[in-house]
Amino acid sequence: MFTIQQETPCDAGQREALLDTVMGEARFTKTAARLREDRLPAEGLSFVARATRRLIGAVQLWDVSAGPGRPALLLGPLAVAADCRNRGVGTALVRSALDAARRRGHRIVLLVGDASYYGRFGFSNEKTQALWLPGPYERERMLGLELATGALDGARGLVHATGRLAARPELAALIAELLAGRAPISEPAPGPTLFTSRAA
């Protein structure tokens, strides 16, 4: 059994460890990673899957523009622990993320991925052919989903990051913190459960 919850600050380390295990260092070289670099995820649109206390999956959405003046979200990366695949974890994460994006009034979600997997959620490359990313990618893997009918009609141009910039800590503050030793951090309460699998 697993649950889908909004990510909390205490999940970040486990999420990064999962991404390292599932995707390795190559994930930082992908063109889509440039759209996430030094940015914060779209507000309220980061999700994790947990089996008891173990983090077994994660997905995030990021603010981008699908060409000039056309706000959109970029989905990814999506990761599921190798021993938990084929149990519906990835599907539940994507559906939870898309449902939340729709409730927040977003109209477009883009991603770079396999149509054979993401097609089940309604993604296709039918309306993304005139969009391009800031680097190399396989054009047929640039997929889009309209959360509002016609939102991708006529979409054309460069997909670029528009999200909030992540704060960069000052070097002096980091050194002082390391020298002083970290104070214990109490674990915050988990985010609300959005989905619970029925399988045992």
Asked if pLDDT for residue 62 goes beyond 90, the answer is yes
pLDDT, mean of residues 148-174: 90
Asked if pLDDT for residue 198 goes beyond 70, the answer is no
Quick: pLDDT tens for 74-92.
999 999 999 999 999 999 9
CATH value at residue 76: 3.40.630.30
Map the chain to HEC letters: CCEEEECCHHHHHHHHHHHHHHHCHHHHHCHHHHCCCCECCCCCCEEEEEECCEEEEEEEEEEEEECCCCEEEEECCCEECHHHCCCCHHHHHHHHHHHHHHHCCCCEEEEECCHHHHHHHCCECCCCCCEECCCCCCHHHEEEEECCCCCCCCCCEEEEECCCECCCCCHHHHHHHHHHCCCCCCCCCCCCEEEECCCC
Check residue 200 and give its pLDDT: 43
Check residue 89 and give its pLDDT: 98
Asked if pLDDT for residue 186 goes beyond 60, the answer is no
Q: What are phi and psi of 187, to 5 degrees?
A: -80, 125
Asked if pLDDT for residue 183 goes beyond 70, the answer is no
Number of domains in the chain: 1
Q: Exposed e or buried b for every residue in 156-179, given b needs 16+ CB within 10 A?
A: eeebebebeeeeeeeeeeeeeeee
Asked if pLDDT for residue 187 goes beyond 90, the answer is no
CB 91 within 8 Å of CB 135: no
**Across 21-25, 69-73, 131-135, 175-179, least confident range:** 175-179
C-alpha–C-alpha distance, residues 187 and 166, integer Å = 22
The span from the first CA to the last CA of the chain, in angstroms, equals 5
Whether the upstream peptide bond of residue 184 has omega within 30° of 0, thus cis, is: no
Quick: pLDDT tens for 98-133.
999 999 999 999 999 999 999 999 999 999 999 999
Check residue 195 and give its pLDDT: 72
Quick: pLDDT tens for 88-100.
999 999 999 999 9
Check residue 36 and give its pLDDT: 95
Q: Which structural domain, as residue segments, surrounds residue 180?
A: 3-196
Asked if pLDDT for residue 7 goes beyond 60, the answer is yes
**Across 31-35, 65-69, 146-150, 182-186, least confident range:** 182-186
pLDDT interval class at 10 (50, 70, 90): very high
pTM metric for this prediction: 0.86
